[in-house]
Amino acid sequence: MDCWFDVENTAQKFLVMIKKLLGIAPQPTEDGAYCPSKLALKLATSSKTDYDGTTYPNPYKEGKLKVLMVCTEEKHMTMANGKKFFTGNHPVEMLVPMLHLKNAGFKIDIFTPTGASAKIEMWAMPKEDENVKSIYSEYKAEFEQSKSLSAFVNNTMLESNDYIAVFIPGGHGAMLGLPENSDLNKLVHWSHQKGLFMLAICHGPAALLAADSNDIKKAFIYKGYEMAVFPDSVDKQTPLIGYMPGHMPWKFGEKLKALGVTIINKKADDTCHMDRKLITGASPKAANNFGKLAATKLLEMVSQP
C-alpha cells in the first residue's frame, strides 16, 4: 500500500515537472492561488485588442443618464480539486466596451457588492494597447474605491433615474458572489421593470442568475431569452492547457439553460446578440462588437422623443 502511494506520488510530481517544461502548468501566485500557464497566456490573451476606435456622429451630451457597471470584489475561485484560480473581471471584456460607451457620451459608475475594490485579471491586460491602458488609468481610482451596490439598492435605487443600462463584464470572477447576491437580484428586477438595457459579456451572464427568485411560481425574468455566453464546453477544456488549475466548481450555462435560456453559440468566439433589451457577447473576441452594439442601442434609446 505504502509502495503504491509512493509510486503514485512520484508519478504526480513527474507530471507536474513535465507540465512546467511544456509551459502548461498553471503559475502559482504569492497568495497561494494560480494564474494561467505560459502557454495559456500565449493562446488566450493578446498584447493588443481589436478595438477599432469607432466614433459616434451624435454622442450623448446631456450627461444625465449613465451606465451602472457591476464588478466582482472577489478574486479567488476554488476549483473542483480545491485549488484556487486567481481571477476577477477580464480587462478586455470590461475596458473595450467602456471605450465605446465613453465615445458614445456615457459615463460609467463602478459598483461592487459592498464597495470593496473591483478585482481585475491583470494577467490578461493588453499591455501594448494604449487605448485600453488609457481608460483603465482614467477609472483606476474608481476601480479601487468602488460604489456600494448594497447602499445603492437599499437607499436610493427606487428613486433613481440616473441610469440607462446595467453592465456586467466577464471574467470568471463574475461567477463569484454575484449569482447569489440578493442586492443584485433586486437591481436586475428593478432595471428590467424600468426598461433599462442589460449588458453582459462572456461569463457576465452568470451574474444574471441572481434574478432567479427560487420561487417555482415565478418564472426567471430571462426565461425564453437567447444569449451569447462563454460555453461550458470550453471551460471544461481550459485546464488542459493550464488556463485554470482544475475543473470548474459549477457550470453557469447549464444553470441558465435549466431556467429557460437558449444559448446561441457553441464556441468562444465573437458572437454578439440582442434579445429585447438584453445584449450579450460570447468571449473577449466579442468585446469590440459588443461595445459597439451596446453604444449604438443606448444612443438610439436616448434619441427617441
CB of 269 within 8 A of CB of 283? Answer: yes
Residue 261's closest CA among 214, 215, 219, 201? 219
Rounded Cα distance between 118 and 173, Å, is: 10
Rounded Cα distance between 150 and 178, Å, is: 12
Residue 235's closest CA among 19, 79, 48? 79
202 as an active site residue: the answer is yes
Rounded Cα distance between 134 and 262, Å, is: 36
Q: Which of 35, 71, 202, 272 is catalytic?
A: 202
Report the helix count and the strand count for the chain, using DSSP H and E: 9, 13
Label residues 245-277 b or e (16+ Cβ within 10 Å = b). Answer: bbebeebbbebbeebebebebeebebbbbbbee
Instruction: Enter the C-alpha cell of residue 28.
Output: 502559482
Residues labelled catalytic: 202
